[in-house]
Amino acid sequence: MKRPFELTDFPDMLREDLEVGRHPKRQRLEGPPVHTRSFLVQTTLEWKEGNETRKVNALLMLDSGASGAVLAQHFIDKHKIPLVKRVQPTQIYAANGKKIAGGTHYTTPVDMWIGKHVNKMNFDVLGLPDEGLRKHVGYMPMSWLTKHNPDIDWTLGTIKWRSTYCRKHCLPSTIKIEWMTEEQMLR
């Protein structure tokens, strides 16, 4: 099946300066395997507003090097996700050492769904550029998935869920291991 779009359409903004345009995903397709440290995952964010539940899809970059969960200010504004002001603003830096605008607010607890797997989390709000539809609107560090503890293959861009936690809480009893491919993650 043809992918709706290529992963190479998505430069890793926080790393592009370091990788000088040599995108690992492209190398995987054309040359010897190279270990990547990030790929895109389609998530659904869910939060309460009064008695109502709000829900929106968010394409996030799962990044083993990211230090915290981040959503772009433009995305927050568009979907009116409730925020909390930090008592002490935090300064967040890109991998290239540049300061990123933001760090003054974070979201109230949001349920982040990846397939059947859910984490309650707060996202820092950063002034990431609006790159339009089909571009990622935030970052998620691997550490936020420790509860589900999936096996990540950074080279193939696949997630395998088979932890005791997932078998107990996320997966139907008939399924012992759940695989997600790039295609599934980007749907």
Strand-pair category, 124-126 with 70-72: parallel
Where in 11-50 is the site for Zn ion (CB under 5 A)? none
Shortest Å distance, C-beta 113 to Zn ion: 10
Chain center to CA of 179? 17
Which residues, at least 6 apart from 177, have a Cβ–Cβ distance to it below 8 Å?
Answer: 160, 161, 162
Which residues, at least 6 apart from 146, have a Cβ–Cβ distance to it below 8 Å?
Answer: none
Cβ count within 10 A of residue 49: 11
Shortest Å distance, C-beta 165 to Zn ion: 6
Nearer to Zn ion, 128 or 170 (CB): 170
Nearer to Zn ion, 37 or 116 (CB): 116
CA-based R_g, the chain, Å: 17
Nearer to Zn ion, 31 or 172 (CB): 172
Shortest Å distance, C-beta 144 to Zn ion: 12
Q: How many chain residues interact with Zn ion (CB under 5 A)?
A: 4
In angstroms, rounded to a whole number, what is the distance separating the alpha carbons of residues 7 and 46?
25
Where in 113-172 is the site for Zn ion (CB under 5 A)? 117, 148, 166, 170
Shortest Å distance, C-beta 38 to Zn ion: 20
> CB–CB of 44/55 below 8 Å?
yes
Nearer to Zn ion, 83 or 166 (CB): 166
Nearer to Zn ion, 78 or 169 (CB): 169
Shortest Å distance, C-beta 171 to Zn ion: 7
Residues in contact with Zn ion by CB under 5 A are 117, 148, 166, 170
